[in-house]
A and B are shown apart, each in its own frame.
Chain A
Amino acid sequence: MYPLFGSPQLGAPLEVVSRCLFHVDFAEPEWTADGLLIARSGHLGSFSRGASLASVADSLGTTYAAANSQPAWEARDLDGDTIREAFGLRMGADDRLPFDDPPPPQALSGLLEFVETGARTTANATLFAITNDAVSGARLWLDTSGTYYRINWSDGATTRTATLTVGQPTSGQRVRLRWTLSATGVVTLWQSINGAAETTATAAPLMLPTAWASGARVRLNSRGDTENPAQGWYRRLKLADVALDVATLDVLR
């Protein structure tokens, strides 16, 4: 079938977008008029916090207290030159940020960049998840054993977990966690602290389901509606299809 009068032109672009399965970069916060956070991939996130969050730093190092449901934007010095050049979202244990419409279970890669603020030592604190509110059924989540970060995925009955055995980030350290879920259901986790070489862990295969649990959402900083909150200074979260190396995943848009 050919169109009668040629293909339509692309729409007028208003924002830089991403073709990743999911991509949010907190240096580019965009909001809908009713207060939903727009990820670069187009997903809409609903930010909430049931309490204030104190001691959030601005670009000059002056601190402020973020009110309930006020995103705690924070500027940080990531390259050690005392200039707070990096802009991100600081989240505490009361912060929730779920996005609707998660990508389906498939071979995929994930990348989460954040600054450790103490989540690692709280067992089950969950940085990222694709879960429903009740944390049941097929799901994927990135949490901590209390000692090391780990990636988990479950088909609803059986759970596979890949737990790092080396690398314990401490508060203030830059952490890059990335993971792959293969078509055969093998989940692998890599961690780099302050840009150093990665450490890794992997788990046994488990057949991928055809869908995540009903009501599943992409979540930052918690596992379900209330379960296992984490904390951290988050920079970006990215999900891409197929297993990608870190260099490709880093620049993929």
Chain B
Amino acid sequence: MITLDGRTLTSLGVSARSVSGWRDGPLSTRAFRALANSSGGLFASRAAGQLREIELTVNIPAVTIAGTTPVLDLLDEATQGLVALAFPDAPGRVVRVIRIGRTVVGAGADTEFLVPRLLATYTFAAADGASYDTEPMLYALSTTPVPIALGTLPSLGVVQITGAWTGARTLTYRGANGIAYGSLAITVPVSETLLGTEYVELDLARRTITRVGPTGARTDAYAWKSAGAWFACDPTDATRAFGQSPTLALSAGTGIFITRRAWSV
């Protein structure tokens, strides 16, 4: 069933009439430059995503004209702000949208004040056109590479490296074929001592490195990044058909990786 922030349409007093656009992934554009004396050209290295629109039409089964207003008000409230939309074909994923339009018509032409049953069409726009798993994925990290399940878009996440350590530790991201596509080395300065009761947090999305002390006190440790570059776990490094996933591993010690799979629809 279709849900808005987990709320079913039934709980909002309406039923689904039609929906469109929910299977259309976000359009992306990529600049292309023709090359002289060539039959082809070059794509730009960066792509730009476009707004993704989803339209939902619901039946408003009021029995009086005045009775339609509270239902519409409730729908207005339920569609305010960022709304997590889920559809029955993928109930474990949501796309987060804002309402950009609402149109209400009578169920028959020119019947708004004769037949109080209405059709309300809500147009939603997703600035982030990706769908995400409702449940995050959690991986224990160690020196043994752990396969990271991905959707159809790259996923970022948070890495927490635990335990007392000195010197450098490297987080290595490898494709399903074993090639290291990304690594981040974190080196504890000689003037610092990292206790076993502390952990270091790497936010791959915000690109921050934070030391979290035994009482939860957080201090910036970005300066501890000593080598490597930020990376994303990318499904182009996986083989969905054969269930092969990219991996993450630490050079020593243990940690966790929390991520949320992202999907183009």
Contact = CB atoms under 8 A, between A and B. Distances in A.
A67 B200 CA distance: 10
Interface string A44-84: 00111000100000111011111111100111000000000
B7 A251 contact: yes
A230 B42 CA distance: 61
Nearest to A15: B82
A15 to B, nearest CB: 6
Q: Is the interface of A mostly helix, strand, loop or mixed?
A: loop
Contact of A64 (B8, B78, B256): B256
A8 interface: no
Contacts of A248: 11
B247 interface: no
Given A10-B80, A17-B81, A69 B215 contact: yes
Contact of A16 (B96, B139, B163): B96
Contacts of B40: none
A13 B98 contact: yes
By size class, the interface of chain B is 35 or more
B65 interface: no
Given A52-B197, A70-B199, A65 B256 contact: no
Contacts of B98: 13
Given A65-B162, A66-B162, A68-B197, A13 B81 contact: yes
A69 B5 contact: no
A68 B135 contact: no
Contact of B216 (A13, A17, A33, A69): A69
* Residue among A10, A18, A35 facing the most chain B CB atoms (10 A cut-off): A35
Contact of A63 (B140, B146, B214, B258): B140
B160 A70 contact: yes
Contacts of A62: 139-140, 146
B134 interface: yes
Contacts of B84: 16
A251 B11 contact: yes
A27 interface: yes
Interface string B189-230: 000000011110000000000001111111000000000000
A85 interface: yes
A43 interface: no
B130 to A, nearest CB: 15
Contact of A27 (B81, B136, B162, B197): B136
* Chain A interface size range: 35 or more
A58 B218 contact: no
B77 to A, nearest CB: 8
A67 B198 contact: yes
B6 interface: yes
Contacts of B8: 251
Interface in B61-92: 77-78, 80-84, 92
Contact of B135 (A58, A69, A70, A85): A85
Contacts of A46: 216
A87 interface: yes
Contact of B139 (A59, A247, A252, A253): A59
A197 interface: no
A65 B199 CA distance: 11
Interface string A227-238: 000000000000
B216 A35 contact: yes
Contact of B140 (A33, A64, A67, A69): A64
A14 interface: yes
B154 to A, nearest CB: 18
B163 A67 contact: yes
Contacts of B140: 58, 60, 62-64
B82 A35 contact: no
Interface in B18-76: none
Contacts of B244: none
Nearest to B134: A27
Contact of A69 (B6, B163, B212): B212
Q: Which 3 A-B pairs have the closest CB atoms?
A: A13-B82, A69-B216, A64-B140
Given A73-B136, A75-B138, A87-B135, 14 more contacts: A10-B80, A10-B81, A35-B212, A52-B196, A52-B197, A58-B256, A62-B139, A64-B162, A64-B256, A65-B254, A67-B198, A69-B213, A75-B135, A251-B7
15 contacts: A10-B80, A16-B81, A16-B96, A29-B136, A47-B216, A58-B138, A59-B138, A60-B140, A64-B256, A69-B197, A69-B216, A73-B258, A75-B137, A85-B135, A253-B78
